[in-house]
Amino acid sequence: MTTGFLLTVIGVLIVLIITAAGLTWLERRLLALWQDRYGPNRVGPFGIFQAAADLIKIITKEDWIPPTAEKAIFVIAPAAIVATVLMSFAVIPFAPDIVIADLNIGLLFFLGMSSLGAYSLALGGWSSNNKYALLGGLRGVAQMLSYEVFMGLSLMGVVMLAGSFDLVKIVEAQRDIWFCFPQAIGLIVFFTAGVAETRRLPFDLPEAEAELIAGYHTEYSGMKFGLFSMGEYLGMTLISALTTTLFFGGWMGPFLPPLLWFILKAFFFICLFILLRASLPRPRFDQLISFAWKIMLPLSLLNLLVTGGILLLRSS
Protein backbone atom coordinates (compact mmCIF):
# COMPACT_ATOMS: atom_id res chain seq x y z
CA MET A 1 0.00 0.00 0.00
CA THR A 2 1.85 3.04 -1.19
CA THR A 3 0.73 6.59 -0.59
CA GLY A 4 0.17 7.03 -4.33
CA PHE A 5 -2.26 4.14 -4.37
CA LEU A 6 -4.17 5.49 -1.39
CA LEU A 7 -4.30 8.90 -3.02
CA THR A 8 -5.75 7.34 -6.17
CA VAL A 9 -8.40 5.51 -4.19
CA ILE A 10 -9.42 8.58 -2.20
CA GLY A 11 -9.22 10.80 -5.27
CA VAL A 12 -11.44 8.51 -7.33
CA LEU A 13 -13.92 8.21 -4.45
CA ILE A 14 -14.16 11.95 -3.95
CA VAL A 15 -14.45 12.66 -7.67
CA LEU A 16 -17.18 10.04 -8.01
CA ILE A 17 -19.22 11.39 -5.13
CA ILE A 18 -18.92 14.93 -6.47
CA THR A 19 -19.89 13.60 -9.90
CA ALA A 20 -22.98 11.90 -8.50
CA ALA A 21 -24.02 15.12 -6.77
CA GLY A 22 -23.23 17.22 -9.82
CA LEU A 23 -25.20 14.88 -12.05
CA THR A 24 -28.40 15.69 -10.18
CA TRP A 25 -27.84 19.27 -11.26
CA LEU A 26 -26.70 18.37 -14.78
CA GLU A 27 -29.68 16.12 -15.34
CA ARG A 28 -32.14 18.77 -14.27
CA ARG A 29 -30.44 21.37 -16.44
CA LEU A 30 -30.31 19.12 -19.51
CA LEU A 31 -33.88 17.89 -19.09
CA ALA A 32 -34.91 21.51 -18.83
CA LEU A 33 -32.91 22.36 -21.94
CA TRP A 34 -34.69 19.67 -23.92
CA GLN A 35 -38.04 20.79 -22.58
CA ASP A 36 -37.38 24.45 -23.49
CA ARG A 37 -36.96 25.46 -19.86
CA TYR A 38 -33.99 26.67 -17.82
CA GLY A 39 -33.90 24.35 -14.83
CA PRO A 40 -32.12 25.26 -11.59
CA ASN A 41 -30.14 28.42 -12.43
CA ARG A 42 -30.26 30.43 -9.21
CA VAL A 43 -27.73 29.01 -6.76
CA GLY A 44 -24.25 30.03 -7.88
CA PRO A 45 -23.09 30.33 -11.50
CA PHE A 46 -25.55 28.47 -13.76
CA GLY A 47 -27.10 27.08 -10.58
CA ILE A 48 -24.22 24.68 -10.07
CA PHE A 49 -24.39 24.91 -6.28
CA GLN A 50 -27.94 23.56 -6.43
CA ALA A 51 -26.35 20.16 -5.83
CA ALA A 52 -24.83 21.42 -2.56
CA ALA A 53 -28.14 22.97 -1.52
CA ASP A 54 -29.93 19.70 -2.26
CA LEU A 55 -27.33 17.79 -0.27
CA ILE A 56 -27.77 20.02 2.77
CA LYS A 57 -31.52 19.69 2.44
CA ILE A 58 -31.56 15.91 2.15
CA ILE A 59 -29.15 15.48 5.08
CA THR A 60 -31.28 17.63 7.36
CA LYS A 61 -34.51 15.82 6.41
CA GLU A 62 -36.15 13.53 8.89
CA ASP A 63 -34.76 10.05 8.43
CA TRP A 64 -37.79 7.96 9.18
CA ILE A 65 -37.96 4.19 9.38
CA PRO A 66 -41.47 2.77 9.21
CA PRO A 67 -42.30 0.93 12.45
CA THR A 68 -43.47 -2.08 10.42
CA ALA A 69 -40.23 -2.32 8.46
CA GLU A 70 -37.49 -4.88 9.01
CA LYS A 71 -35.09 -2.40 10.49
CA ALA A 72 -31.66 -3.93 9.90
CA ILE A 73 -32.34 -4.91 6.30
CA PHE A 74 -34.07 -1.61 5.66
CA VAL A 75 -30.89 0.23 6.66
CA ILE A 76 -28.51 -2.05 4.77
CA ALA A 77 -30.35 -1.91 1.42
CA PRO A 78 -29.46 1.63 0.34
CA ALA A 79 -25.87 1.20 1.43
CA ALA A 80 -25.59 -1.99 -0.62
CA ILE A 81 -26.33 -0.32 -3.93
CA VAL A 82 -23.84 2.50 -3.43
CA ALA A 83 -21.18 0.08 -2.17
CA THR A 84 -21.53 -2.32 -5.11
CA VAL A 85 -21.46 0.43 -7.69
CA LEU A 86 -18.45 2.09 -6.08
CA MET A 87 -16.68 -1.27 -5.96
CA SER A 88 -17.17 -1.66 -9.69
CA PHE A 89 -15.29 1.57 -10.30
CA ALA A 90 -12.20 -0.06 -8.84
CA VAL A 91 -11.52 -1.98 -12.05
CA ILE A 92 -11.99 0.88 -14.49
CA PRO A 93 -8.85 2.35 -16.04
CA PHE A 94 -9.45 6.10 -16.00
CA ALA A 95 -6.02 6.77 -17.51
CA PRO A 96 -2.92 4.61 -18.19
CA ASP A 97 -1.70 5.01 -14.61
CA ILE A 98 -4.98 5.65 -12.81
CA VAL A 99 -6.58 2.30 -12.10
CA ILE A 100 -7.28 1.15 -8.57
CA ALA A 101 -7.33 -2.64 -9.08
CA ASP A 102 -5.88 -3.99 -12.31
CA LEU A 103 -7.73 -7.31 -11.99
CA ASN A 104 -7.27 -9.94 -14.67
CA ILE A 105 -11.01 -10.67 -14.34
CA GLY A 106 -12.05 -7.03 -14.15
CA LEU A 107 -15.07 -7.44 -16.39
CA LEU A 108 -16.34 -10.42 -14.42
CA PHE A 109 -15.88 -8.41 -11.25
CA PHE A 110 -18.07 -5.67 -12.68
CA LEU A 111 -20.77 -8.15 -13.75
CA GLY A 112 -20.73 -9.73 -10.31
CA MET A 113 -20.98 -6.41 -8.55
CA SER A 114 -23.86 -5.25 -10.70
CA SER A 115 -25.69 -8.49 -9.92
CA LEU A 116 -25.20 -7.84 -6.22
CA GLY A 117 -26.83 -4.48 -6.76
CA ALA A 118 -30.10 -6.31 -7.41
CA TYR A 119 -30.09 -7.32 -3.73
CA SER A 120 -30.43 -3.70 -2.78
CA LEU A 121 -33.73 -3.43 -4.66
CA ALA A 122 -35.03 -6.74 -3.41
CA LEU A 123 -34.12 -6.10 0.22
CA GLY A 124 -35.23 -2.48 0.17
CA GLY A 125 -38.57 -3.35 -1.40
CA TRP A 126 -39.16 -6.34 0.83
CA SER A 127 -38.11 -4.88 4.16
CA SER A 128 -40.24 -1.75 3.69
CA ASN A 129 -43.35 -3.84 4.36
CA ASN A 130 -45.25 -1.86 1.76
CA LYS A 131 -47.14 -3.25 -1.23
CA TYR A 132 -45.80 -0.72 -3.69
CA ALA A 133 -42.25 -1.14 -2.45
CA LEU A 134 -42.57 -4.91 -2.74
CA LEU A 135 -43.95 -4.67 -6.29
CA GLY A 136 -41.14 -2.30 -7.19
CA GLY A 137 -38.58 -4.63 -5.69
CA LEU A 138 -40.05 -7.60 -7.55
CA ARG A 139 -39.99 -5.74 -10.82
CA GLY A 140 -36.48 -4.53 -10.17
CA VAL A 141 -35.13 -7.98 -9.53
CA ALA A 142 -36.93 -9.52 -12.51
CA GLN A 143 -35.66 -6.75 -14.74
CA MET A 144 -32.10 -6.90 -13.51
CA LEU A 145 -31.93 -10.67 -13.79
CA SER A 146 -33.29 -10.59 -17.35
CA TYR A 147 -30.97 -7.86 -18.52
CA GLU A 148 -27.97 -9.24 -16.65
CA VAL A 149 -28.02 -12.32 -18.87
CA PHE A 150 -27.40 -10.63 -22.16
CA MET A 151 -25.35 -7.83 -20.67
CA GLY A 152 -22.72 -10.44 -19.91
CA LEU A 153 -23.17 -12.11 -23.31
CA SER A 154 -22.91 -8.83 -25.19
CA LEU A 155 -19.53 -8.20 -23.60
CA MET A 156 -18.13 -11.58 -24.62
CA GLY A 157 -17.56 -10.25 -28.15
CA VAL A 158 -15.28 -7.58 -26.73
CA VAL A 159 -13.54 -10.14 -24.55
CA MET A 160 -12.96 -12.39 -27.57
CA LEU A 161 -11.52 -9.55 -29.61
CA ALA A 162 -9.27 -8.36 -26.81
CA GLY A 163 -8.48 -11.88 -25.58
CA SER A 164 -8.77 -10.78 -21.96
CA PHE A 165 -11.16 -9.94 -19.15
CA ASP A 166 -8.68 -7.33 -17.97
CA LEU A 167 -10.08 -3.86 -18.67
CA VAL A 168 -6.60 -2.34 -19.03
CA LYS A 169 -5.78 -4.94 -21.71
CA ILE A 170 -9.12 -4.34 -23.41
CA VAL A 171 -8.30 -0.64 -23.70
CA GLU A 172 -4.82 -1.48 -25.03
CA ALA A 173 -6.39 -3.81 -27.61
CA GLN A 174 -8.31 -0.89 -29.08
CA ARG A 175 -5.19 0.92 -30.29
CA ASP A 176 -5.97 0.12 -33.94
CA ILE A 177 -9.74 0.27 -33.95
CA TRP A 178 -12.33 1.08 -31.29
CA PHE A 179 -14.54 -1.91 -30.57
CA CYS A 180 -17.64 0.13 -31.29
CA PHE A 181 -17.12 -0.65 -34.99
CA PRO A 182 -16.62 -4.43 -35.00
CA GLN A 183 -18.95 -4.79 -31.99
CA ALA A 184 -21.72 -2.35 -32.96
CA ILE A 185 -24.45 -4.80 -31.99
CA GLY A 186 -22.62 -5.57 -28.77
CA LEU A 187 -22.50 -1.86 -28.03
CA ILE A 188 -26.22 -1.36 -28.57
CA VAL A 189 -27.11 -4.42 -26.52
CA PHE A 190 -24.73 -3.50 -23.73
CA PHE A 191 -25.94 0.08 -23.54
CA THR A 192 -29.58 -1.01 -23.47
CA ALA A 193 -28.79 -3.48 -20.72
CA GLY A 194 -26.85 -0.77 -18.94
CA VAL A 195 -29.83 1.57 -18.95
CA ALA A 196 -31.96 -1.25 -17.56
CA GLU A 197 -29.31 -2.16 -14.96
CA THR A 198 -29.23 1.37 -13.61
CA ARG A 199 -33.05 1.49 -13.74
CA ARG A 200 -33.00 4.71 -15.72
CA LEU A 201 -35.81 5.77 -17.98
CA PRO A 202 -37.19 4.26 -20.19
CA PHE A 203 -36.47 1.18 -18.05
CA ASP A 204 -37.37 2.67 -14.68
CA LEU A 205 -40.25 0.30 -14.06
CA PRO A 206 -39.09 -0.64 -10.55
CA GLU A 207 -39.77 2.93 -9.46
CA ALA A 208 -42.45 3.86 -12.01
CA GLU A 209 -43.99 6.77 -10.15
CA ALA A 210 -47.18 6.69 -12.18
CA GLU A 211 -47.98 3.19 -10.95
CA LEU A 212 -45.88 2.45 -7.88
CA ILE A 213 -45.43 5.81 -6.09
CA ALA A 214 -41.65 5.45 -5.99
CA GLY A 215 -41.35 1.67 -6.22
CA TYR A 216 -38.78 0.01 -4.00
CA HIS A 217 -37.74 3.25 -2.27
CA THR A 218 -41.27 4.40 -1.45
CA GLU A 219 -40.66 4.23 2.29
CA TYR A 220 -37.21 5.75 2.27
CA SER A 221 -36.56 9.29 3.35
CA GLY A 222 -33.65 11.55 4.16
CA MET A 223 -30.16 10.41 3.32
CA LYS A 224 -31.26 6.79 2.81
CA PHE A 225 -33.30 7.95 -0.13
CA GLY A 226 -30.31 10.08 -1.09
CA LEU A 227 -28.16 6.96 -1.19
CA PHE A 228 -30.60 5.26 -3.57
CA SER A 229 -30.52 8.18 -5.93
CA MET A 230 -26.75 8.44 -5.54
CA GLY A 231 -26.56 4.76 -6.47
CA GLU A 232 -28.59 5.50 -9.56
CA TYR A 233 -26.38 8.39 -10.66
CA LEU A 234 -23.21 6.47 -9.86
CA GLY A 235 -24.59 3.54 -11.86
CA MET A 236 -25.18 5.88 -14.77
CA THR A 237 -21.58 7.08 -14.50
CA LEU A 238 -20.39 3.49 -14.25
CA ILE A 239 -22.20 2.35 -17.38
CA SER A 240 -20.95 5.42 -19.23
CA ALA A 241 -17.40 4.76 -18.06
CA LEU A 242 -17.64 1.10 -19.06
CA THR A 243 -19.10 1.89 -22.48
CA THR A 244 -16.18 4.23 -22.97
CA THR A 245 -13.68 1.65 -21.79
CA LEU A 246 -15.06 -1.32 -23.67
CA PHE A 247 -16.21 0.20 -26.96
CA PHE A 248 -14.70 3.66 -27.36
CA GLY A 249 -11.04 3.16 -26.58
CA GLY A 250 -11.16 4.28 -22.96
CA TRP A 251 -8.56 6.95 -22.32
CA MET A 252 -7.11 6.79 -25.83
CA GLY A 253 -7.28 9.80 -28.07
CA PRO A 254 -5.05 12.34 -29.76
CA PHE A 255 -3.64 15.63 -28.39
CA LEU A 256 -5.56 15.84 -25.13
CA PRO A 257 -4.36 14.11 -21.94
CA PRO A 258 -5.78 10.58 -21.53
CA LEU A 259 -7.79 11.38 -18.39
CA LEU A 260 -9.52 14.25 -20.18
CA TRP A 261 -10.36 12.00 -23.12
CA PHE A 262 -11.87 9.48 -20.74
CA ILE A 263 -13.93 12.11 -18.97
CA LEU A 264 -15.13 13.63 -22.25
CA LYS A 265 -16.23 10.28 -23.64
CA ALA A 266 -17.94 9.24 -20.42
CA PHE A 267 -19.63 12.64 -20.23
CA PHE A 268 -21.04 12.11 -23.70
CA PHE A 269 -22.70 8.88 -22.64
CA ILE A 270 -24.04 10.44 -19.45
CA CYS A 271 -25.68 13.09 -21.62
CA LEU A 272 -27.05 10.31 -23.82
CA PHE A 273 -28.58 8.70 -20.70
CA ILE A 274 -30.30 11.97 -19.92
CA LEU A 275 -31.43 12.42 -23.53
CA LEU A 276 -32.99 8.97 -23.36
CA ARG A 277 -34.83 10.01 -20.25
CA ALA A 278 -36.02 13.20 -21.92
CA SER A 279 -37.28 11.37 -25.01
CA LEU A 280 -38.71 7.96 -24.33
CA PRO A 281 -41.79 6.80 -22.45
CA ARG A 282 -41.55 3.69 -20.34
CA PRO A 283 -42.85 0.42 -21.78
CA ARG A 284 -45.25 -1.96 -20.08
CA PHE A 285 -43.56 -4.47 -17.82
CA ASP A 286 -44.36 -7.53 -19.96
CA GLN A 287 -43.07 -5.65 -23.00
CA LEU A 288 -39.89 -4.95 -21.11
CA ILE A 289 -39.28 -8.57 -20.18
CA SER A 290 -40.24 -10.00 -23.55
CA PHE A 291 -38.00 -7.42 -25.24
CA ALA A 292 -35.15 -8.71 -23.10
CA TRP A 293 -35.68 -12.41 -23.75
CA LYS A 294 -37.07 -12.37 -27.29
CA ILE A 295 -34.99 -9.69 -28.97
CA MET A 296 -31.95 -8.71 -26.96
CA LEU A 297 -30.86 -12.19 -25.88
CA PRO A 298 -31.02 -13.72 -29.41
CA LEU A 299 -29.30 -10.62 -30.77
CA SER A 300 -26.42 -10.89 -28.34
CA LEU A 301 -26.10 -14.63 -29.00
CA LEU A 302 -26.02 -13.94 -32.75
CA ASN A 303 -23.37 -11.30 -32.19
CA LEU A 304 -21.37 -13.78 -30.18
CA LEU A 305 -21.69 -16.42 -32.89
CA VAL A 306 -20.65 -14.09 -35.71
CA THR A 307 -17.74 -12.63 -33.76
CA GLY A 308 -16.53 -16.11 -32.84
CA GLY A 309 -16.87 -17.31 -36.42
CA ILE A 310 -14.94 -14.39 -37.84
CA LEU A 311 -12.20 -14.79 -35.24
CA LEU A 312 -11.93 -18.50 -36.03
CA LEU A 313 -11.75 -17.80 -39.77
CA ARG A 314 -9.06 -15.21 -39.25
CA SER A 315 -6.90 -17.41 -37.04
CA SER A 316 -7.05 -20.43 -39.33
Partner 1 sequence: MVSILKTLFYVFLHTFRKRVTVLYPEVKPRIPPRWRGRIILSLDPNGEERCVACYLCAAVCPVDCISLQAAEDGHGRRYPQFFRINFSRCIFCGFCEEACPTYAIQLTTDFEMGEYRREHLVYEKEHLMISGTGKYPGYNFYRVAGVAIGGKDKGEAENEMPPDDVKRLMP
- Closest approach of Cβ 49 to partner 1, in Å? 18
- Closest approach of Cβ 120 to partner 1, in Å? 29
Minimum CB distance to partner 1 smaller for 8 or for 41: 41
Report CA-CA distances (Å) from 10 to 14, 27, 106, 120, 274: 6, 25, 20, 24, 28
- Closest approach of Cβ 300 to partner 1, in Å? 15
DSSP-derived secondary structure letter, 209:
H
Of 60, 62, 84, the residue nearest 232 (C-alpha): 84
Minimum CB distance to partner 1 smaller for 37 or for 131: 37
**Angle 124-125-129 from CA coordinates, rounded to 5°:** 105
Minimum CB distance to partner 1 smaller for 142 or for 276: 276
- Closest approach of Cβ 37 to partner 1, in Å? 5
Burial 103-121 (b: 16+ CB within 10 A, else e): beebbebbbebbbbbbbbb
Minimum CB distance to partner 1 smaller for 90 or for 278: 278
- Closest approach of Cβ 299 to partner 1, in Å? 11
- Closest approach of Cβ 287 to partner 1, in Å? 13
Window 11 to 40, contacts with partner 1 (CB under 8 A): 33-38
* Distant-in-sequence, close-in-space partners of 202: CB < 8 Å, separation ≥ 6: 195, 276, 277, 280, 281, 282, 283
Count of residues that interact with partner 1, criterion CB under 8 A = 12
Window 80 to 139, contacts with partner 1 (CB under 8 A): none
Report CA-CA distances (Å) from 105 to 75, 109, 178, 307: 31, 6, 21, 21
What's the burial of 43, exposed, middle or buried (CB within 10 Å: 0-12/13-18/19+)?
A: middle
Stretch touching partner 1 by CB under 8 A, among 86-94, 108-116, 255-263, 273-281: 273-281
Minimum CB distance to partner 1 smaller for 60 or for 279: 279
Minimum CB distance to partner 1 smaller for 41 or for 129: 41
Question: For the CA atoms of the chain, what is the radius of gyration?
Answer: 20
Window 275 to 314, contacts with partner 1 (CB under 8 A): 275-276, 278-280
- Closest approach of Cβ 182 to partner 1, in Å? 20
Binding mask 226-265 for partner 1 (x = CB under 8 A): ----------------------------------------
Minimum CB distance to partner 1 smaller for 33 or for 103: 33
Q: How many CB atoms lie within 10 A of CB 231?
A: 27
Asked if 185 touches partner 1 (CB under 8 A), the answer is: no
Q: How far apart are CA 1 and CA 84, in angstroms?
A: 22
* Distant-in-sequence, close-in-space partners of 297: CB < 8 Å, separation ≥ 6: 149, 150, 153
Residues that bind partner 1 (CB under 8 A): 33-38, 41, 275-276, 278-280
